[in-house]
């Protein structure tokens, strides 16, 4: 699974002529597969961890920090008013995340009319990188979110470090 993910990253790096293509490429991946790291015979481990990822539940980050995270399950019953939502780069917003969000809106669409974000909610989207946004655009997923009323921000980091106000405020040139 990890090798498949790494190969997808190598392909993306090559397609978009990314500077990372020197580090992440299929030749290096082939070398890793052929020369896998293994522990020395008789090696002892301080601790072994087993994680069953299927037991994890979604979390909602914030307010005001991705370090503040609450399980979605505990928020569902609290009837909390939502006025801002972000699908942004630091914890998600890869093409696969954008596709998952677009799928929600596609499935909610009725009579060939796009599903819309509630008028009292500002939904901001920013892809993790320009190549990730290009993949989402080519798949049509980016446009589905825009049609729903999502407000695009520049790809990359921003909202979590307070740059959203810079992007959303009118700029006056002197």
User: pLDDT digit string (tens) for 47-90?
Assistant: 989 989 888 888 887 777 778 888 888 888 888 888 888 888 66
Confidence of residue 169 (pLDDT cuts 50, 70, 90): very low
Q: Other C-beta atoms within 10 Å of 77: how many?
A: 7
Rounded to the nearest 10 degrees, what angle do helices 130-139 and 2-15 cross at?
A: 90
Model's pTM, two decimal places?
0.64
- Give domain status of residue 49, yes or no: no
pLDDT band at 137, cuts 50/70/90?
A: very high
Residue 79 lies inside a defined structural domain of this protein: yes
Task: Specify the number of domains making up the chain.
Answer: 2
Residue 29: the pLDDT is 92
- Strands 151-152 and 122-125, bridge-based pairing: parallel
Domain range holding 13?
A: 2-34
Pair (11, 67) in one structural domain: no
Residues 116 and 62 in one domain: yes
Three-class secondary structure of residue 151 per DSSP: strand
């Amino acid at each position: 699974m990890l090798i498949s993910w790494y190969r997808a990253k190598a392909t993306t790096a090559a397609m978009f002529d990314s500077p990372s293509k020197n580090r992440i490429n299929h030749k290096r991946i082939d070398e890793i597969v052929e020369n896998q790291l293994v522990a020395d015979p008789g090696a002892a481990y301080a601790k072994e961890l087993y994680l069953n990822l299927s037991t994890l539940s979604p979390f909602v980050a914030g307010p005001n920090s991705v370090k503040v995270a609450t399980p979605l399950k505990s928020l569902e019953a609290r009837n909390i008013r939502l006025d801002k939502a972000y699908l942004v780069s630091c914890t998600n917003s890869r093409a696969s995340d954008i596709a998952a969000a677009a799928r929600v809106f596609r499935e909610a669409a009725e009579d060939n009319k796009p599903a819309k974000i509630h008028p009292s909610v500002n939904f901001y989207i920013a892809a993790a990188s320009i190549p990730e946004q290009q993949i989402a655009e080519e798949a049509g997923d980016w446009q589905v979110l825009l049609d729903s009323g999502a407000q695009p921000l520049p790809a990359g980091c921003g909202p979590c470090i307070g740059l959203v106000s810079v992007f959303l405020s009118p700029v006056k040139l002197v």
